[in-house]
Homo-oligomer: A and B are copies of this chain.
């Protein structure tokens, strides 16, 4: 029989899977082309040609041992390449020791949390958050502490400060944010660093800042990504190439410990131990080798920006309350009716598939992924107008209801 906790988790998440299944059913009935399945952050854009060329070049080489095990941290030369790059970017003295290649950001977060958490330790996450964070923290005996953000999904420092306590082991942030597209400013990250510094005074171990950055290459307008690692010494960076190269199925990312991080040498060992103990063993070898070959050749984000602009303007016209995404490839509008689950179900009748906001800790919203061809986004506008306006009408009707 399945573990009891998973039974519970499966029931809790049943409606997400149901949405996914409903989307699949719609696709089977009308053709995938005729369904606007915006539920997943699974880019339909292809990786840059440099990715394919790098993989072909490595595979075709006569070098031996390309596919062997290696140190659980990953290949030394790839780690050294990343350390050099991060050192230049952040003016911090990274060496290969600080870098651990990992099985995507999901794998990276799990080895970091396994390395850090004692039973009962708290990890703060900010609403809205990537839903798996709750599981990642619970996997290793941690306790999730959810903290609300401001109306535009920026850090609410009063709320955050109130949540920090003796049990806080780490604060986990995600900028650009999935699902809101919020990007934290340098000024806010400096304030965050100062707060964590202040709250760490007198503690045996400081509060760690874990920054999950898979969307750091997907930024719009003038939104410069502010790298959190520059603003707090005890920062652990976790990222992946899933979004930057549009290769989420290949599971490649890395963890970088700030060289100024508390207990750094022990953490390096603990990451290696966790990588083995959790069964990851090492990040996929071929994908590791690709990293230094392709350098800074990422996906072209112009289509994402175009899609963001189209959806944002559309929602403005429709009068839908919505924060303008500054990065990532999601938009997170407020739903016209209170129950985001019901709203997402109703949207199916227009062949629209969304994830309800409650999955991200913020009900009354839906997440709409826009990592798809612009043509599909354009074709969906009418359906979007129908569901968002229809919902508004019902809301207006309900507002009238008490007078009946």
By a beta-carbon cutoff of 8 Å, the part of chain A in contact with chain B is: 1-7, 9-10, 13, 40, 42-44, 46-47, 51-52, 55-56, 59-60, 64-70, 103-110, 114-118, 132, 135-136, 139-140, 204-205, 246-251, 262-263, 266-267, 269-270, 273-274, 276-287
B-chain residues with CB within 8 Å of residue A280 when the two chains form the complex = 103, 106-107, 251, 280
- B281-A104 in contact (CB<8A): yes
Cβ contact of A249, chosen from B68, B106, B116, B276, cutoff 8 A: B68
* Sampled A-B contacts (18; CB under 8 Å): A1-B204, A2-B116, A3-B116, A9-B273, A10-B270, A56-B59, A66-B249, A67-B246, A104-B279, A104-B281, A106-B281, A107-B279, A107-B280, A251-B282, A278-B278, A284-B284, A284-B287, A286-B286
- B251-A103 in contact (CB<8A): yes
- B139-A277 in contact (CB<8A): yes
Cβ contact of A1, chosen from B64, B104, B262, B274, cutoff 8 A: B262
B-chain residues with CB within 8 Å of residue A55 when the two chains form the complex = 55, 59, 286
* Chain B residue with the shortest CB-CB distance to A208: B1
B-chain residues with CB within 8 Å of residue A4 when the two chains form the complex = 118
- B107-A263 in contact (CB<8A): no
- B278-A2 in contact (CB<8A): no
A267 to nearest B CB, angstroms?
A: 6
B-chain residues with CB within 8 Å of residue A7 when the two chains form the complex = 266
Cβ contact of A270, chosen from B2, B44, B103, B248, cutoff 8 A: B2
Complex Cα spacing A5 to B287, Å: 31
Complex Cα spacing A338 to B269, Å: 30
* Chain B residue with the shortest CB-CB distance to A279: B106
A309 to nearest B CB, angstroms?
A: 24
Complex Cα spacing A267 to B3, Å: 9
Complex Cα spacing A284 to B67, Å: 13
B-chain residues with CB within 8 Å of residue A269 when the two chains form the complex = 2, 10
* Chain B residue with the shortest CB-CB distance to A283: B251
A212 to nearest B CB, angstroms?
A: 11
